[in-house]
């Protein structure tokens, strides 16, 4: 059987990434050029700078990916690129590169949903994972709880109504002077703190709702810090970080477990940048083990934005009969 090679391109935010997927789930190369050091200076991602850095990085990354995989441009069978959601300027860089390759090589191109890509990241780490299962996607800009009915059929059951989990981590980290990116910094600091020190709210919304709301929690944390400062009391940053993190994790775990019980499914796959959070992994494993359920999460490199997951999502959609026009647009606000 002839091997099938998918070239994945990801430029949705501040990481430029190119990957090559062989056949179904074999990642040959997954290159990531990070811009964290640049954006840390500004306390967050600056869209204009991000898109300019993508322009500088994308072509050398494609050349290196092919070289590292021992392939030529002609060996590529499919080009999969993130079409959204993300920053308009950043997405345009990846889309433009993909269109150029598709036209020059006369190869099919497919636009992948970045959030579907996060779900597909688990397929790359866990070759045995198959639908149906429940997926919790927790990233910098999005929070989703959904039923994965098949490789291309996703039923969104809950989503964030305001701030996403990762966004809340970044804002709280900025408030207490930890800097950007907030998620890893809060995860590290919280290990030194008392998670029961401060009773922050757990916003569950209506009784049967699977939606999420973290803006109230974020505001409560910021107000607590302000109040302490006004009283001349030094904020214990470790306790604040641990208490905030525990409030977030309580909500994510409670809603995930409720959906698993309601659907009768026995598998939860977590993905997205916040899937790297050690406390979330620990708590989910504890709860799932109690009920004989299985927990999956990607390798750490596949939790963050990367092109391997985009290649996987594109490959699955292509096998389902989908392709995109050379006139494909970008979709900054694309939903799952």
Per-residue pLDDT tens over the stretch 230-245: 999 999 999 999 999 9
Average pLDDT over residues 175-203: 94
Residues 152 and 256 in one domain: yes
Residues 228 and 136 in one domain: yes
Q: What is the pLDDT of residue 212?
A: 95
Residues 294 and 307 in one domain: no
Residues 281 and 313 in one domain: no
Q: What is the pLDDT of residue 106?
A: 96
| pLDDT for 1 beyond 80 | no
Residues 6+ apart with CB under 8 A from 99: 109, 326, 328
Structural domain boundaries, residue 96: 5-118+303-319
Residues 144 and 255 in one domain: yes
| pLDDT for 16 beyond 80 | yes
* Structural domain includes residue 336: no
Residues 143 and 248 in one domain: yes
| Cα–Cα distance measured from residue 209 to residue 200, given in angstroms and rounded to the nearest whole number | 20
* Structural domain includes residue 331: no
- Which of 28-32, 171-175, 255-259, 312-316 comes out lowest in average pLDDT? 171-175
Q: How confident is the model at residue 206 (pLDDT cuts 50, 70, 90)?
A: confident
Residues 286 and 160 in one domain: yes
Residues 114 and 143 in one domain: no
| pLDDT for 145 beyond 90 | yes
Residues 154 and 248 in one domain: yes
| Cα–Cα distance measured from residue 104 to residue 117, given in angstroms and rounded to the nearest whole number | 26
* Structural domain includes residue 332: no
Token couple for 199 = 């009773």
The percent of residues in the chain predicted with pLDDT above 90, rounded, is 88
pLDDT tens figures, 62-104: 999 999 999 999 999 999 999 999 999 999 999 999 999 999 9
* Structural domain includes residue 126: no
Average pLDDT over residues 35-61: 91
Token couple for 227 = 């109040």
* Structural domain includes residue 102: yes
Cβ-contact 120, 300 below 8 angstroms:
no
């Amino acid at each position: 059987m002839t091997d099938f090679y998918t070239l994945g391109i990801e430029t949705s935010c501040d990481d430029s990434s190119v990957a090559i997927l062989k056949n179904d789930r074999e990642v040959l190369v997954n290159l990531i050029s990070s811009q964290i050091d640049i954006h840390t200076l500004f306390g967050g991602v600056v869209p204009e700078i991000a898109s300019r850095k993508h322009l500088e990085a994308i072509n050398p990354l494609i050349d290196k990916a092919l070289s590292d995989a021992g392939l030529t441009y002609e060996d590529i069978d499919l080009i999969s690129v993130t079409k959204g959601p993300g920053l308009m300027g950043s997405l345009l860089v990846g889309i433009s590169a993909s269109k150029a390759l598709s036209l020059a090589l006369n190869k099919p191109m497919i636009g992948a949903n970045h959030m579907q890509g996060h779900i597909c990241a688990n397929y790359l780490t866990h070759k045995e994972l198959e639908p149906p299962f429940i997926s919790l996607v927790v990233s910098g800009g999005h929070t989703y709880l959904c039923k994965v009915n098949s490789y291309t059929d996703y039923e969104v059951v809950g989503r964030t109504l305001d701030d996403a989990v990762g966004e809340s981590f970044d804002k709280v980290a900025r408030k207490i002077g930890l800097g950007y990116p907030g998620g890893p910094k809060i995860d590290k600091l919280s290990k030194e703190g008392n998670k029961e020190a401060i009773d922050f709210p757990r916003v569950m919304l209506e009784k049967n709702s699977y939606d999420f709301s973290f803006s109230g929690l974020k505001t409560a944390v910021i107000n607590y810090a302000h109040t302490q400062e006004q009283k001349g009391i030094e904020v214990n940053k470790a306790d604040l970080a641990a208490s905030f993190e525990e409030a977030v994790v309580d909500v994510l775990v409670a809603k995930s477990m409720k959906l698993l019980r309601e659907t009768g499914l026995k598998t939860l796959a977590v993905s997205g940048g916040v899937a790297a959070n050690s406390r979330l992994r620990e708590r989910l494993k504890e709860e799932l083990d109690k009920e004989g359920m299985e927990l999956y999460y990607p390798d750490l490199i596949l939790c963050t934005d990367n092109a391997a997951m985009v290649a996987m999502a594109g490959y699955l959609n292509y096998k389902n009969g989908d392709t995109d026009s050379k006139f494909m647009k970008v979709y900054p606000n694309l939903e799952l």
